[in-house]
Chains A and B, each alone.
Chain A
Amino acid sequence: MVRDVAFGQYFPGKSLMHRLDPRAKLVCFVAFVVLIFFTFNYAALGLIAAFTVFMIAVSGVSPKFYFKSLKVILFVVLFTSVLNLFYGSGEAIWQWWILRLTWNGIHRAAFVTVRIICLILASSCLTFTTSPTELTDAMERLMKPLAVIHFPVHEIAMMMSLALRFVPTLLEETDKIMQAQKARGADLESGGFLKRVKALIPILIPLFVSAFRRAYDIATAMECRCYRGGSGRTRMKILHMSARDIMSMITTAALIGGVIVCNIFMTSVI
């Protein structure tokens, strides 16, 4: 079923990770993601991997769900790492037809694998421990300076939170429509590519119709409550930075420092 995908799901909880201010979490997350791609030797990569494990440990979410989120991208990881394996430069240690295995290629494959896995685990950690509302709230606050150049910060944030809010609803709806069409003998599982694409029509049309209907409904509901955009709106939950948020940012800064030191004092392998 479509609902079984763990990636992007939120698990309510009270762990350290849950209690962090979403703004601090988001800033640290962005810094961490950039950092993942600035690792050029195994020491730096090891630091990143260790930090990922640390994040998972303090997130209070069972590792099982992290594995589940990895399962979704298993194919992508395999594909890119195999591609990288034969893409390296330097002396070949094994060769067959156009496939050249080099030490450089092996390093590249190892790096790309660890990097993607860390990337997915870190983003899972963020979405597992931060509710969509908190996340868009944090984005809105962090993008606020852009309002000076007339960037519609609030509108974008509102659109994002509405979109996120409808993901589970539409998944459920897809499920229902699929069941209803299957009950009428729709064949979704067999046939060639074209036949399968055609078989999606009875699902997509009702889905679009219902998505538009829901969009109109929510627009009307918002208007009934006199929604008129962001200016002058107060918040129900005011975000507060606390000592632990500062600590999390200091930890991230230390990690950045560590990776930079590794990069300076050790030779890069890729």
Chain B
Amino acid sequence: MSSILELKNLSFVYGQGTPFEKTAVDNLSATIEKGEFIGIIGHTGSGKSTLVQMLNGLMRPTGGQVLLDGKDIWSEPKKIREIRFRVGMVFQYPEYQLFEDTVYKDIAFGAKNKGLTGDELDKAVRKAAEFTGLKGELLEKSPFDLSGGEKRRAAIAGVMAMEPEVLILDEPTAGLDPMGREILLSQIVNYHKERGITVLLVSHSMEDIARVAGRIMVMNHGALHDFDKTKSVFAKGGELRKIGLKVPQVTRIMQTLRERGVDVPDGILTVDEALEVLSSLLKKEGKIW
């Protein structure tokens, strides 16, 4: 594997030189490999949003570098737009960016800006709509006539249609109902699998992160607190609690069981895993057949 994103001593200070000066990201270094699914967690105001906005050149770091495929994205400031097509960014509540008169046109906006035309554009738009589960007949509707969940999908499809190499999603499931969250999340996982691209997911839901992420970046007060495999990060539950975060509920239950002497493995992340472990354990003890 080769690295796609390399962050070198990245810093961002808001309002530099004013009394309101505030360091949002502090001297952060990390390497992200091609095709990884990274989860980013941290309490509110820990610098997650600032960090991801620097990755596609929406914010210029006040210190350090972002290397995309080994090249500093700010080496040619005039070409920063091209970076934004390669590193797609879905903001929080992205449905507020919809503006075209049909959903189709809105999804096509980014891809068109990238320079796609004709069949290529049409294919990219329909493919993106399919990934997010938007039905064909919705494409000709006005985006303002869609339901909240559909709007969200349309907005995410608008970024997917640019066919980025890295996709960053900032809280894509916030405000959706449990079913909607579940579906959207699996669509993102499918997208990641099928396209083989790198995905960065910012979320407050530890359950979501545990389900999808291969590695997790833990942010705390603008610094990278931890960057490790999902299992290893959640194995340090006490440490996470200290910085205002939690581990998934089921992980905590299993950890408690372990502490009380039940023979279950460490780092159980999903309910399905737990079910499997517990039922085989009970079978062994002859409690169920």
A182–B53 CB distance below 8 A: no
A201–B58 CB distance below 8 A: no
Contact A180 to B97, CB < 8 A, known contacts A185-B84, A185-B162? yes
B residues 190-238 in Cβ contact with A at 8 Å: none
Question: What 12 new A-B contacts, CB under 8 Å, besides A173-B96, A183-B84, A184-B162?
Answer: A62-B19, A176-B96, A177-B96, A184-B97, A184-B159, A185-B85, A185-B110, A185-B114, A186-B109, A187-B81, A187-B113, A206-B98
B47 within 8 A of A: no
Query: Could you say which residues of chain A place their CB within 8 Å of the CB of B144?
Result: 209
B residues 110-153 in Cβ contact with A at 8 Å: 110, 113-114, 144
B94 within 8 A of A: yes
A220 within 8 A of B: no
Number of B positions contacting A (CB below 8 A): 23
Query: Could you say which residues of chain B place their CB within 8 Å of the CB of A209?
Result: 96, 99, 144
- Would you give 23 A-B contacts (Cβ < 8 Å), ordered by A? A176-B91, A176-B96, A177-B97, A180-B91, A180-B94, A180-B96, A180-B97, A182-B58, A183-B56, A183-B88, A183-B91, A183-B110, A184-B109, A184-B110, A185-B81, A185-B113, A201-B99, A202-B109, A205-B99, A206-B97, A209-B96, A209-B99, A209-B144
Q: Closest approach, in angstroms, between the C-beta of B172 and any C-beta of chain A?
A: 13
CA gap between A175 and B198 in the complex, in Å? 27
A181 within 8 A of B: yes
Interface centre among A180, A184, A205, A209 (most CB of B within 10 A): A184
A183–B159 CB distance below 8 A: yes
Contact A184 to B158, CB < 8 A, known contacts A179-B91, A209-B144? yes
Please name the residue on chain B nearest to A64 by beta carbon: B18
Interface code A173-217, partner B: CB below 8 Å = 1, 0 otherwise? 100110111111111000000000000011001100110000000
Please name the residue on chain B nearest to A187 by beta carbon: B81
CA gap between A177 and B91 in the complex, in Å? 9
Please name the residue on chain A nearest to B168 by beta carbon: A183
B28 within 8 A of A: no
CA gap between A205 and B98 in the complex, in Å? 8
Number of A positions contacting B (CB below 8 A): 19
B89 within 8 A of A: yes
CA gap between A202 and B159 in the complex, in Å? 15
Query: Could you say which residues of chain B place their CB within 8 Å of the CB of A62?
Result: 19
CA gap between A182 and B96 in the complex, in Å? 14
Query: Could you say which residues of chain B place their CB within 8 Å of the CB of A179?
Result: 53, 58, 91
Please name the residue on chain B nearest to A62 by beta carbon: B19
Query: Could you say which residues of chain A place their CB within 8 Å of the CB of B58?
Result: 179, 182-183
Query: Could you say which residues of chain A place their CB within 8 Å of the CB of B94?
Result: 180
Interface code B56-82, partner A: CB below 8 Å = 1, 0 otherwise? 101000000000000000000000010
Query: Could you say which residues of chain B place their CB within 8 Å of the CB of A205?
Result: 99
Interface centre among B99, B113, B114, B158 (most CB of A within 10 A): B99
Tell me which of B99, B158, B159 contacts A206 (CB under 8 A): B99
Query: Could you say which residues of chain B place their CB within 8 Å of the CB of A182?
Result: 58, 84
Tell me which of B91, B99, B114 contacts A202 (CB under 8 A): B99
CA gap between A181 and B98 in the complex, in Å? 9
Q: Closest approach, in angstroms, between the C-beta of A5 and any C-beta of chain B?
A: 13
Please name the residue on chain B nearest to A6 by beta carbon: B18
B84–A181 CB distance below 8 A: no
Query: Could you say which residues of chain A place their CB within 8 Å of the CB of B162?
Result: 184-185
Interface centre among A173, A176, A182 (most CB of B within 10 A): A182
CA gap between A209 and B145 in the complex, in Å? 13
Please name the residue on chain A nearest to B110 by beta carbon: A184
Q: Closest approach, in angstroms, between the C-beta of B65 and any C-beta of chain A?
A: 20
CA gap between A180 and B159 in the complex, in Å? 10
CA gap between A182 and B88 in the complex, in Å? 11
Q: Closest approach, in angstroms, between the C-beta of A66 and any C-beta of chain B?
A: 14
Query: Could you say which residues of chain B place their CB within 8 Å of the CB of A177?
Result: 96-97
Query: Could you say which residues of chain A place their CB within 8 Å of the CB of B88?
Result: 183
Please name the residue on chain A nearest to B87 by beta carbon: A183
Q: Closest approach, in angstroms, between the C-beta of A1 and any C-beta of chain B?
A: 10
Query: Could you say which residues of chain A place their CB within 8 Å of the CB of B98?
Result: 206
Query: Could you say which residues of chain B place their CB within 8 Å of the CB of A187?
Result: 81, 113
Query: Could you say which residues of chain A place their CB within 8 Å of the CB of B56?
Result: 183
CA gap between A62 and B20 in the complex, in Å? 13
Q: Closest approach, in angstroms, between the C-beta of A65 and any C-beta of chain B?
A: 9
Q: Closest approach, in angstroms, between the C-beta of B118 and any C-beta of chain A?
A: 18
Interface code A51-95, partner B: CB below 8 Å = 1, 0 otherwise? 000000000001000000000000000000000000000000000
A183–B99 CB distance below 8 A: no
CA gap between A210 and B88 in the complex, in Å? 24
Query: Could you say which residues of chain A place their CB within 8 Å of the CB of B114?
Result: 185
CA gap between A180 and B106 in the complex, in Å? 13
Please name the residue on chain A nearest to B91 by beta carbon: A180
